[in-house]
Structure 1
Amino acid sequence: MTSQPFLYVAVCASGIADDVGKLISAAQEEGWGVGVVVTPNAMGFIDRAGIEEQTGYPIRSAWRPPGIPASLPPADAIAVAPATFNTINKWADGHADTLLLGILTESYGLGIPVAAQPYINSAQAAHPAYAANVERLKAMGVLFGDYVPHKPKVGGGRDRYDWSTPLRLLRPVLEAKTEV
């Protein structure tokens, strides 16, 4: 068996981001080492200490200065969950104004497999940029989950958000990395 494959869990600012521990636990149970990268706004939605204890790595949300060593191993795959309207659109347009977006935009050129499980409302999903950008990312090889947008302004969707979807989509990557 090769060394343990490493998964970056990329977390966007969302009302359900506090449940990301479910994805981390499931990934670890499947055999992934896990590190977490978040948008700066997502820091207010998560339990930083709890996640760092769960993964054994510091959460990354900002660029590191030159000369400071990387705190996470290189990613074998990336799971973006929850993937928000803002991140999906900026990522597809090639923006890299946060560490998380920089990692996502580089993933294409580096050949790192990425799976995204959106969490958006139906009003956002109706915007023409959203569908076009999801298609653009799919054309780049990004695997998308099947989340059905919830009604706006009701805080809905938490009960039917499937945190395991990115892992299911990335399972072939995990299996290839762990073959004897």
Structure 2
Amino acid sequence: MASRVLYLFGSAAPPVLDIARVVEDAQADGWDVCLGLTPTAGDWLHGSLDDLAALTGNPVRQRYKRPGEPDVWPPADAIAFAPVTANSLNSWALGLTSVFVVGVVAEAIGKRIPVVAMPCVNSAYARHPQIQPSITTLRAAGVRVLWGEEGFTPNEPGEKKPYPWRTVLDAVREPRPRTS
């Protein structure tokens, strides 16, 4: 049984469709994986949620638990949030936590849980004036945002490029010390 717990979170961007392979890769790295999805990502993967739960050995979560319900996941040792859409990135940086996975990563900052995030936005979204301030805010809070040469480079709208999943898993395996 793995001794380290990784919360693997994904937003609704095309790379989330490869999440089963990423879970397997994380497990091969020694992680016990708990998979969380935004509601739209969960909708995209609706037909495979039971298989993903069986693969991880944990329920796939998309929503907050009700008050008084027990937490069904063990505590996280690290969190990888990838792919992160413009909506999730900006919501997180602004502290808008109506979505379960965004709420967990927002709280992780205060709990000092190592978090690695890799956006997946095309170049049109990347030029939106809120994207860079959101990345800067999250980095200042201690989140390792894999953006640009260190991680994801935006593609042109409609362009298909491989998403660098291994970069995310390598970064979460060896988190940088927190400075904040």
Asked if 1:45 is matched to 2:38, the reply is: no
Aligned to 2:12: 13
**Aligned-partner Cα distance in 2 for 1:164–1:45:** 22
Aligned partners of 1:164, 1:49: CA distance in 2, in Å?
Answer: 25
Partner in structure 1 of residue 155 of structure 2: 150
Taking only aligned residues, the RMSD between alpha carbons, in angstroms, comes to 1.5
Distance 1:141 1:168 in 2: 17
Structure 1 SS opposite 2:169: helix
Structure 2 CA distance, aligned partners of 1:45 and 1:102?
Answer: 21
What is the aligned partner in structure 1 of residue 165 from structure 2? Answer: 163
Deviation digits for residues 108-161 of structure 1, max 9, x if unmatched?
100011001111100000011101110111111111222111111x1x33x420
CA deviation map 1:25-75 (0-9, x unaligned): 111001010001111111122221221111011111111112321111111
Q: Secondary structure at the match of 1:59?
A: coil
Q: Residue type matched to 1:165 in 2?
A: T
Moved over 2 A (4+): none
Q: Number of aligned pairs?
A: 169
Matched, 1:85 2:106: no
Greater RCO structure (CA 8 Å; 6+ sep): 1
Amino acid at match of 1:168: D
Q: Secondary structure at the match of 1:164?
A: helix
* Residue 28 of structure 2: aligned partner: 29
Alpha-carbon distance, 1:172 to partner? 2.1
Q: Is the 8 A contact 1:38 1:61 kept in 2?
A: yes
- Per mean C-alpha deviation after superposition, the further-off stretch among 4-13 and 64-73 is 64-73
Q: Which moved more, 1:55-64 or 1:12-21?
A: 12-21
- Alignment map for 1:35-74 (pairs within 5 Å): 35-46=34-45, 47-74=48-75
Shift of 1:171: 1.7
* TM-score, normalisation: structure 2: 0.89
The Cα shift of 1:167 comes to 1.4
Q: Gapped runs of 5+ residues in structure 2?
A: 176-180
Between 46-55 and 114-123, the greater mean CA deviation after superposition: 46-55
What secondary structure, in the 3-state scheme, does the structure 2 residue paired with 1:148 have?
coil
TM-score normalised by length of structure 1: 0.89
Higher mean displacement: 164-173 or 140-149: 164-173
Amino acid at match of 1:78: I
Letter in 1 for 2:3: Q
**Percent sequence identity over aligned pairs:** 35
